[in-house]
Structures are given as C-alpha cells and as structure tokens.
A and B are shown apart, each in its own frame.
Chain A
Amino acid sequence: DTGVSQDPRHKITKRGQNVTFRCDPISEHNRLYWYRQTLGQGPEFLTYFQNEAQLEKSRLLSDRFSAERPKGSFSTLEIQRTEQGDSAMYLCATDRSSSGNTIYFGEGSWLTVV
C-alpha cells in the first residue's frame, strides 16, 4: 500500500491520558498536514509541515497538542491531558510541492476519550 498510512486506526483513552498518533506519508511527499474531523462536520485544519519545518498552525491547536516531523518523513501528533472534546478523527494528508496541489488523505485515527 503506497498511500498515507496512519496508526493506530482507533484509540480509546481515559480523560487526562496522553495519546500519540503517527502518520507515514506517501513516498517523496514533502508536505504533510494534520486535520481533525468530528461527527457530522468537515475536516478542520490543524497544522502543516514542509519537510521538517512546521509552517502553519491553526488556533485549534491548543498548547496540549504538539506535532513533529523530525526527519521530514513521518509525523507524530501528540495530545496531552486528553479531554472528552478531543474525541474526533485525526486525519493526516500529504502532497508534493512539485506536483501542484492534490492533497491525499490517510484513513484517519479515531480517538475516543472516555
């Protein structure tokens, strides 16, 4: 499978715990995005990396959220001290700066905070 890969696909955690999601981009895609999607809504932009540099951050990305892309390949999104309102699907998407703007999404990581 050469698509965007996300892990884990599902995570149930207790309120207050930390969780981390991983995204592996399509090979040679140097741009990587994180979005969040709640039931009945469209995805909402969280943050964007070009290579290892985090270039855009949404106001939705509170100080409990941190995203990294240390080597410009895979990325992690960590949520600290999870709250029930964090329950959502976290989507990773990637594209290549030399290929226009077609952004490809992964299958998402579902988070349920209980």
Chain B
Amino acid sequence: GESVGLHLPTLSVQEGDNSIINCAYSNSASDYFIWYKQESGKGPQFIIDIRSNMDKRQGQRVTVLLNKTVKHLSLQIAATQPGDSAVYFCAENKTPGRRALTFGSGTRLQVQP
C-alpha cells in the first residue's frame, strides 16, 4: 500500500523498550488533543485523547502527557511491539467549540525485533 510518511522524523526502538513520541502544538487555546496511529495504506486509528484540564491520561500500554506551559504533548508506549510500527500523529482542536482538528506532521516509529 501507499506510504503516508515519506520524509518523516523517525524513532527507532528495540522490541520491548518504551517509546516516547513528542509533539509541539501551536495554539495555547487548544482544549483537546488526540493521538492517532496510521499504518501504511490505512486511515488513522484513534489511540488516546486528553483534554486541556488534564496533565496525564493512561490507556492500555499508552500514556499521554500534556504540558501546557511549553505547549508540548507526548505519547509513551510501554513494551513496544512490532505491531506498533506506524506513523503517529498528534492532533489538536485549535478552536474550542468547533470540530475541525489540526494534525501535526507525524513521526514514524520503527520497532526492531
């Protein structure tokens, strides 16, 4: 299938290690953030979200951290598996009350067996 990330920043990790993917967002008024995973030739898949009134949210093997002071969002994946290899996008709701999401440029995660 077609690749959606030809010249993306790449994070390469060993299977079993923890991964941290970072994202800088632009609008201090953004009130909602989402992380998506996109495999080659497929649509984005929801991973986890967080509202601006929270600093941390945990899911299954994933944790999202939000630092509003420096407008930084991170996705932590515990015990990374080969199936986690994909492009990861952060998205923000820049205009509270509107539905449009603004996506970042993405990070490719490569998991080495």
- Residues of chain A at the chain B interface (Cβ within 8 Å): 4, 31, 33, 37, 39-45, 48, 55-56, 58, 89, 91, 93, 101-108, 110
Residue B6, interface by CB 8 Å: yes
Closest chain A residue, CB of each to CB of B5: A40
Contacts of A56 in B (CB 8 A): 98-100
Contacts of B4 in A (CB 8 A): 37, 39-40, 89
A-B contacts, CB under 8 A, total: 66
Report the bound CA distance from A93 to B102 in whole Å.
14
Report the bound CA distance from A48 to B106 in whole Å.
23
Among listed B12-20, B44-52, B65-73, B77-85, interface-contacting one: B44-52
Please tell me which one of the listed residues B2, B43, B46 contacts residue A106 in the complex, with CB atoms under 8 A apart: B43
CB distance A39 to B3 under 8 Å?
A: yes
Closest chain A residue, CB of each to CB of B3: A39
Q: Chain B contact residues (Cβ within 8 angstroms of A): what range?
A: 20 to 34
Given contacts A44-B103, A48-B100, A101-B93, could you give 8 more A-B pairs where the C-beta distance is less than 8 Å? A40-B105, A43-B89, A43-B103, A56-B99, A89-B4, A103-B46, A107-B41, A107-B43
Closest chain B residue, CB of each to CB of A92: B43
Closest chain B residue, CB of each to CB of A112: B2
Most chain A CB inside 10 Å of its own CB: which residue of B2, B93, B99: B99
Most chain B CB inside 10 Å of its own CB: which residue of A31, A37, A93: A37
Closest chain A residue, CB of each to CB of B100: A45
6 A-B residue pairs with Cβ-Cβ distance under 8 Å, sorted by A, are A39-B3, A40-B5, A89-B2, A105-B44, A106-B43, A108-B42
CB distance A41 to B105 under 8 Å?
A: yes
Report the bound CA distance from A39 to B5 in whole Å.
6
CB distance B32 to A101 under 8 Å?
A: yes
Contacts of A102 in B (CB 8 A): 46, 49
Contacts of B89 in A (CB 8 A): 42-43
CB distance A40 to B6 under 8 Å?
A: yes
